[in-house]
Amino acid sequence: MNTVYESFKTLVNPEGYQFESVNCYQCGQDDCEVFLIGEEDLTGKEGQFQYVNCNNCGLKYHNPRIHLNQIKEFYDSEYIAHRKKTDWGLLTPLYERAMNKHDREKNKLITKYVSLNNDSRVLDVGCAVGTFLTYLKKKHQCFISGVDFKKDLNYPGFEDIDFHCGLFYEQDSLDESSYDLITMWHFLEHCYSPTKSLVKAHTLLNKNGKLIIEVPRLDSLSYKIYGRKWPGIQAPQHTVMFDKKNLISMIENAGYEIEEYLPYGAFPAYFYLFAGLWFKVYGKGLNLDKIMMPYFMGQLMLMPILLFEKKINLAMQTVICRKK
C-alpha cells in the first residue's frame, strides 16, 4: 500500500486539488497496487489521476480520489451531456440527430424488458438535462423523475421532470417501492459510492421493477487498443472502471438478480473508437468544433464494422436486473 501513495506523490496536479484515500468500493479492503495513471483527455484540463487495482477482488478504482467538493469543476459547460452548446453551424442537424438517436436507442433497449404506459413511474439517475426522460414522457406518457448532482440544469421540457438535485444515495424525498423502472446510463462509474447507489435503487423499485445499468467495459476491445488513452477512463470523473465480472458481482451483492447481460449499450461505441484514436494521435483535449466533421466522416467509413457492434464487444456493457 505504501508504494501506492509513493507513486501518487510523484503525479503532477495543479495547486489546490484535494485528494482523499478510499478503500475498495466492492470489498472494502485497502490492499491495492497502481493500475494506471489517467488524465482528463476529454477537455484537456490539467492533472494526473491514479487508478489502483484491488488485490482482493480485482476492482479498478480512482485512489486517492479527488475530493467530492472539487469534482463538480469537471462537469462544466464543456461537458457534452449537459448540451450547453446548440449551434454547430452546418453540422447542427447531424449533431442533433446523433444526440436524439441516443435517446431513441435507450428507449429501444428498455422496451424489450419493461412495458411503459401512463401509469408507469421512471427514474433516471444522473439525468443531466433530461432529454431521455422527456422522450419517454412523449412516447409513453409515463411519470418521469430524475436525479443529478448539478444545479441550474436547463433544456426544453426539463420543467416536466420531477427533478431532485444532489447525490442519489442521499435522496430522502423519493418514494420507496414506487418505481417501475430505474435507469443508470453511464452513472455508476461516476458515483462516489456505487454500492450505496445500488442499495438505494433497490429500496425505490417496486416488486416487479427493473434496474438498467450501462457503463463502459474495461475488458473490451477498445481498452485493449488504447490502454491509458481509453476514453472510458475519463479521469477524474470516473471513480470506478468495471469489467464484466466486477460489475455483475457488485450488482448481485446489492440484492439483485441479473435478468440479462448485454456486451453493448445504447451509447455509441464508435465514440470510444474515435476519441481514443484522437487522444493517441493529438493528445489531450477533444475540441468538438474541430472534430465534428471528421467524427461523422469516420462513422460513415466504419459503418460495416459498427453493424457488428453487439457481437464484437467494442466498449460498452449493459445489465438488466430486478430484486431477488
pLDDT at 189: 98
**Helix residue ranges, H only, the chain:** 2-9, 68-71, 92-110, 131-140, 194-204, 221-226, 244-253, 269-282, 288-301, 303-306, 309-312
- Say yes or no to pLDDT of 79 above 90: no
**How far is 99 from 84, CA to CA, in rounded Å?**
13
pLDDT at 294: 87
Read off the pLDDT of each residue in 304-315 and give the average, rounded to a whole number. Answer: 86
What residue spans in the chain does CATH classification 3.40.50.150 cover? Answer: 80-323
Q: Provide the whole-model pTM.
A: 0.93
pLDDT tens-place string over residues 227-265 = 999 999 999 999 999 999 999 999 999 999 999 999 999
Contact 116, 143 (CB under 8 A): no
Architecture of domain 80-323: 3-Layer(aba) Sandwich (3.40)
pLDDT tens-place string over residues 142-194 = 999 999 998 878 788 999 999 999 999 999 999 999 999 999 999 999 999 99
Give the mean pLDDT of the chain: 91
Q: Is 217 exposed, middle or buried (0-12, 13-18, 19+ CB in 10 A)?
A: buried
pLDDT at 82: 46
pLDDT at 94: 61
pLDDT at 92: 63
pLDDT at 93: 65
- Give bridge partners of residue 146 from the DSSP assignment: 124, 163
pLDDT at 87: 57
pLDDT tens-place string over residues 89-129 = 655 666 666 778 899 999 999 999 999 999 999 999 999 99
- Say yes or no to pLDDT of 83 above 70: no
Work out the percent of the chain whose per-residue pLDDT is above 90: 75
